[in-house]
Amino acid sequence: MATADDVRRIALSLPGTVEKPAWGLPAFRAGGQGGRIFASLDEDDQVIGVICPKEDREGLISAEPGKFFVRPGHDDGYAWLRVRLAALDGEDELRAILVDSWRQAAPRKLLDAHPGTAGPPGV
C-alpha cells in the first residue's frame, strides 16, 4: 500500500520540486517555492490531491470510485482530483499519477529541461 512517505519521496524526486505547506498541509510544488502545487496530502495522510482536467474527472471517478473522488463544494471549481492511497495498485501507479500531475504544473522551461519526465498530460 502506498503511504505518505512514498508520496513525499516520489514527489521530491521530480525535477524542480519543493515541499511547501499550503493550508497547513504538506504540498508539493513544481518549479520551486513559488511554483504551482501539483500534489498535496490530506490531514490523515491517506488521500492525496492532484491536478486533473475537469473533463477527465468524471470518467476516472465512474471507472474507479473507490480510488478517485472529489470533495463536493471544495474541488468543484478546480482541476483537482482526490486519490485514496490504499486503493492504488502499487508504487508504479502512484508514480504515474504524480508525474502526470507534475507535468501539468511544471513551467515549460522545466519540462523542456527534463524531456525524459515530460510528456503529454493525462492521468
pLDDT tens for each residue of 90-107: 999 999 999 999 999 999
Buried b (16+ CB within 10 A) or exposed e, 44-67: eebbbbbbbeeeebeebbeeeeeb
Residue 42 to residue 91: CA distance in whole angstroms: 18
- pLDDT tier at 122, thresholds 50, 70, 90: very low
> What angle (nearest 5°) sits at the alpha carbon of residue 23, between those of residues 47 and 121?
55
**What pTM was estimated for this model as a whole?**
0.91
Decide if 90 contacts 1 (C-beta within 8 A). Answer: no
pLDDT tens for each residue of 39-80: 999 999 999 999 999 999 999 999 999 999 999 888 888 999
Which set of grid coordinates corresponds to residue 30? 513544481
Residue 108 to residue 43: CA distance in whole angstroms: 31
